[in-house]
Amino acid sequence: MKSITTVLALLENQEFCDEGLHLIREIATFVASSPSDSVRDAFVSQRTIPFVEKWGVPPPHAPALVDPDPARPFSDAVMSGKWGIVPIFAWTTDLEIRRAIRRIRGVVRKMHRDAQITHRAQKARWLEDCGYPRPAIASAVWGRRKGLRRHSKEQAMAGLPEDVEREWYEKYLGQGREPRVAERLIYKRAQGSEAPASATVRMAEHRYEEDLTRLNAALAAPVPSEPISAALTMLYRVDDPAEVRRGLVALRKALVPPPVS
């Protein structure tokens, strides 16, 4: 197996990135035609094998790894309706602006905008596909130097507060456990099932998958935060001239509401 550093260096190789992006787009186009699972798997395998044979690793799932584009988050936000516009006219009051922002925030939830969080999770997901263990990924991607292995029994118990240890012990005894069994369960629970660095990678991937699921759902069915951005999202998404006309009509209505009778 190649060193993890050598594999990460492929993301700086333009030929690798170009071929990876072409393959990602080809697979995405095919999957969009809604083939059966068996047909999809056969197609992906057929297209991926030559790539793996040439480069020694599978292509990344995330296009951003091979085609970094700082405009992508903004495009995704517009396409999914996760944005809003507050029109300010000469007569717009500060109170009306604050109310409009609160209404938009009810749909467009605030999130931490740190591209590195997503980028690291995408790298971790790809490196796991390449066969690297999570501690090695935490070291290469997050720069972790500690917590790469599970704590020893002594380390785990040293870091466990006495009141917590007592609470667990009494709980296990209350369940009818023998004292020796209760102690063993406490050791196991204090150690945890994985190294802290592995947990870092696992949770980052989990949050990334959750964010991706929410984004895909919003792309499939954008929820309007207010009429103007909703009309612009409609225009941004369509190619059909008739749909463009409908979007322009909606935008005009949103910008210039009918007079109140």
pLDDT bucket at 49, cuts 50 / 70 / 90:
very high
The yes-or-no verdict on residue 69 having pLDDT over 90 is no
CA distance 209 to 7: 23
Sign, CA torsion 78/247/32/214: positive
Q: What is the DSSP string of 109-128?
A: ------HHHHHHHHHHHHHH
138, 201 in Cβ contact below 8 A? Answer: yes
Look at 134-138, 172-176, 182-186, 256-260 and tell me which has the smallest mean pLDDT: 256-260
Least-confidence region, from 30-44, 50-64, 140-154, 167-181: 140-154
Pick the residue with more confidence: 156 or 217?
Answer: 217
Average pLDDT over residues 71-92: 92
Once rounded to an integer, what is the mean pLDDT over residues 7-35? 93
pLDDT (tens digit, 9 = 90+) per residue, 150-166? Answer: 666 666 667 778 888 78
Predicted TM-score (pTM) of this structure: 0.72
- pLDDT the model gives residue 113: 60
> Which residue type occupies 38?
S
Q: Residue 257's Cα: distance from chain center in Å?
A: 38
How much is the average pLDDT of 247-258? 82
Half-sphere exposure of 197 (CA within 13 A, CB side): 20
